Amino acid sequence: MSTAAKGLEGIVAAETVLSFIDGERGILEYAGIAINDLAKDSNFEEVSFLMLNGRLPNKPEFDAFLADLRGAYTISDHTIGLLRSIPATAQPMHMLRTMVSALALEDPNPNSIDIPEVRAKAIRILAKVPTIVAGFDRLRRGLDLIAPDQNLTFAANFLYMLNGEKPTATMERAFDACMILHADHGLNASTFTARVITSTLSDIYSAITGAVGALRGPLHGGANEGVMVMLNEIENVSEAEQFVMNKLAAKDRIMGFGHRVYKSYDPRATYLKTLAEQLANDTGNADLYAKSHAIEKTMDREVASKGIYPNVDFYSATTYHSIGLKLDLFTPMFALSRIAGWAGHALEQLDGNRLIRPKADYVGPHEKPYVAIEQR
């Protein structure tokens, strides 16, 4: 019998040039570049090019990429009609999973596995998903759709379509940084899902649809919603420390702390923490950041020695709330960003593909007799 760890922990299932993680030292790199350098000095469009090509673009390449991406912001009347048919009570991640799949219906050659064609399809999906998410949210609020503005960045355009006004520079920068920080993270559950689907030589729409389904789970992308729920349970800053102590005493989980990979401070949380504070102060949510900071201080004192630190979900919750996002849109924001990483991994999988087909240990009985239904 095999002794493989549950959850495939520690098993190497693919090679990638897209992201490197050292959980012990708290390092995350995209194609060799430190995540904090990208979050401070780059932008999501440039990082998306990196995910889809394994390197940063030169100026002409970047200009061409921007033209392709922004030129695909608009969704068709058919897609708008589908959006209007979705019940306002639908959960956004279920809506998103359905709509990503539906985009294949408008593609005259959806099943192509030619790498340049798949890359072009991925750019179109990346461009249209923000329009879909913003459109769904406005429709369920009884508001008119807002057409995308091709003069705006990925981050600014989404917030404009969602809120009906252009974001402040701080909002745009904070949201752009969130998109960068969530773009890729090794062979996580949703990325592995995308690669497994791609390995069957299925299409990019199927791969990303499957990845959205994996991301929806509360043990993966749904965790940042749990952070906001927790923060809402704490009425004021003075109660934060006792809240944490009560949770620890009951051996309950503190949402936004600890990570399957990181045994030190999540490098994605470092820069986001600074942006979250600035944004919270600018938007009248200083108390929310103060509660977050008080929780972190208490957790640092109590459990940091055990390798439990804030992860990216902890401060992204404050950031998304300050931007004005409803709680059930938090996980779709993760998807907006991670599409770039999923597509990059799908392209890697296609290049030298081999069907992913692991084994399972059978642990049931043998040689059981068949019993006729009348005798059961």
CA 248/CA 242 separation, integer angstroms: 10
Structure tokens at 249: 């005493």
pLDDT in tens, 97-133: 999 999 999 999 999 999 999 999 999 999 999 999 9
Q: Tell me, yes or no, if 259 is annotated catalytic.
A: yes
pLDDT in tens, 161-175: 999 999 999 999 999
Q: Average pLDDT, stretch 38-67?
A: 97
What's the pLDDT at 360?
A: 87
What's the pLDDT at 10?
A: 72
What's the pLDDT at 1?
A: 53
Pick 14-358's CATH classification: 1.20.1050.10, 1.10.10.60, 1.10.580.10, 2.60.120.10.
1.10.580.10
In contact, 291 and 234? CB cutoff 8 Å: yes
Q: Among the ranges 2-11, 178-187, 264-273, which has the highest mean pLDDT value? A: 178-187
Largest CA distance in the chain: 75
Q: Among the ranges 80-84, 229-233, 269-273, 318-322, which has the highest mean pLDDT value? A: 80-84
What's the pLDDT at 359?
A: 87
- Element containing residue 131 per DSSP (H, E): helix 115-140
Q: How confident is the model at residue 312 (pLDDT cuts 50, 70, 90)?
A: confident
pLDDT in tens, 286-299: 999 999 999 999 99
Helical axes 189-199 vs 330-350, angle rounded to 10° = 40
CA 264/CA 28 separation, integer angstroms: 12
Buried-exposed string 124-148: b where 16+ CB fall within 10 A, e elsewhere: bbbbbbbbbbbbbbbbbeeeebbeb
What's the pLDDT at 4?
A: 67
Cα dihedral sign for 115, 57, 154, 76? negative
Strand 19-22 relative to strand 33-34: parallel, antiparallel, unpaired? unpaired
Q: Three-class SS of residue 85?
A: helix
Q: Which residue has the higher pLDDT, 267 or 55?
A: 55
Q: Tell me, yes or no, if 321 is annotated catalytic.
A: no
Cite the DSSP H helix spans in 305-351: 312-323, 330-350
How far is CA 253 from its chain centroid? 21
What's the pLDDT at 288?
A: 93
CA 287/CA 231 separation, integer angstroms: 10
Say whether pLDDT at 344 is over 90: yes
What's the pLDDT at 243?
A: 96
Which residues touch 5 (CB under 8 Å, ≥6 apart)? Answer: 11
Q: Which residue has the higher pLDDT, 259 or 307?
A: 307
pLDDT in tens, 214-235: 999 888 887 778 889 999 999 9
Burial of residue 204 (number of CB atoms within 10 Å: 0-12, 13-18, 19+) = buried
- What residue type is assigned to position 76 of the chain? S
pTM over 0.75: yes
Q: Report the percent of the chain where pLDDT is more than 90.
A: 80
Say whether pLDDT at 34 is over 90: yes
CA 17/CA 207 separation, integer angstroms: 19
Structure tokens at 46: 């440039």
Q: Tell me, yes or no, if 78 is annotated catalytic.
A: no
Say whether pLDDT at 2 is over 90: no
> Which is catalytic among the residues 185, 259, 321, 345?
259
What's the pLDDT at 11?
A: 78
What's the pLDDT at 244?
A: 95
Q: Average pLDDT, stretch 202-208?
A: 98
Where exactly are the structural domains of the chain? 14-358
In contact, 341 and 185? CB cutoff 8 Å: yes
Q: Average pLDDT, stretch 250-279?
A: 86
How far is CA 320 from its chain centroid? 13
Say whether pLDDT at 8 is over 80: no
> Which is catalytic among the residues 68, 107, 149, 220?
220
Say whether pLDDT at 55 is over 80: yes
Cite the DSSP H helix spans in 141-222: 154-163, 169-181, 189-199, 204-215
Which residues touch 63 (CB under 8 Å, ≥6 apart)? Answer: none
What's the pLDDT at 271?
A: 85
> Which is catalytic among the residues 182, 313, 321, 345?
313
Among candidate residues 17, 13, 12, the one with its CA nearest the CA of residue 348: 17
